[in-house]
Amino acid sequence: MAVLCKPAIEVPEYVITNEETLELAQRLHGDHPQLDLVLSLIEHTGVQKRHLIQPIEKVLQHPGVDARSTTYEAHTKARVPAVVRRALDQAELEPQQIDMIIYVSCTGFMMPPPTAWLIDTMGFRPETRQMPIAQLGCAAGGAAINRAHDFCTAYPDANALVIACEFCSLCYQPTDLGVGSLLSNGLFGDGIAAAVIRGNGGTGVRLERNGSYIIPSTEEWISYAVRSTGFHFQLDKRVPGTMEPLAPALQALAEQHQWNASKMDFYIIHAGGPRILDDLSLFLDVPPEAFRFSRATLTEYGNIASAVVLDALARMFDEASALDGHRGLMAGFGPGITAEIALGTWTSESES
């Protein structure tokens, strides 16, 4: 069975703290009629700092979609290869041994996709399959893992590489002054993650079952308005309450596998915000400590979109608390409202 190996993570060098974010909001939007609400929401995100690919002064500028696209491509090519190399090293594989690359990003656009450039420049075989995913937002990290699992199920000896590259700061829109937009400005950060799914061998999460669930009539709750100025992120105030209908979907998938979603040994959950984790803890009836990896990602990096689940998983590897046979649940949430869910068991390469 396919094994999800230890992810590699990189966050860029420019840092903005939550205190600096609050000061910036007061300076830029001092006359906003709901400023107190915005400041309170940002203060209670649990985010202590975020990382950016550019200094905040440049982030606040909007040089146009063409300039932002150039920046996205330049930083993708400059930053992704090193993360990919570390992910391959951690899986003990070479580029020639990868059969599929799944690349997810909702914060920039390239065609041909970055997968073509990576194959051409990093020594992957020309026959390597490509699957770029651009429109699943924060759920795409979970979707990438699941599609890699599907591929390795169809081709049991194959290996897949998943990459999540999110430069959320390139989506900043200075004219978007709604409460949801201003909250997002204090929540999202930039980050890159990559991980290998091995068809044979490896230490990590042996993937056993996956599924997807969409909450009916919520497609407008998380969305992009695509305009001449680029992507305008739209966040409905009802989004934080979506764990109540999603928790039963997680339970249902676990029950199909004869597992209990409330009794897992580990949880790797998309940290969209603190209430997402608080509510899921409540509705799944699990202790808040169960989501410590996701909370750590949110605290240290903010919401890094599709890369969150991979970063949270890397933190579990670093903690070294998982034992052979431990059962776990992974879930990414995003536009739709969509949940991408996976079940797996911890395994070490030395396990017979």
The residues pairing with 50 across neighbouring beta strands, listed in sequence order, are 16
Question: Half-sphere exposure (CA, 13 Å, Cβ side) for 269?
Answer: 29
Minimal CA–CA distance to 103: which of 70, 132, 66, 82?
132
230: left (phi over 0), alpha (psi -120 to 50) or beta: left
What are the angstrom distances between the C-alpha of 273 and each of 64, 204, 278, 338?
29, 26, 9, 16
Verify whether residue 138 is a known catalytic residue: yes
Tokens, residue 116: 């073509």
Cα–Cα distance for residue pair 187/48, rounded to 1 Å: 10
Which of 5, 106, 138, 171 is labelled catalytic? 138
Q: Who's near 74: CB < 8 A, 6+ residues apart?
A: none
Query: Which residues are annotated as catalytic?
Result: 138
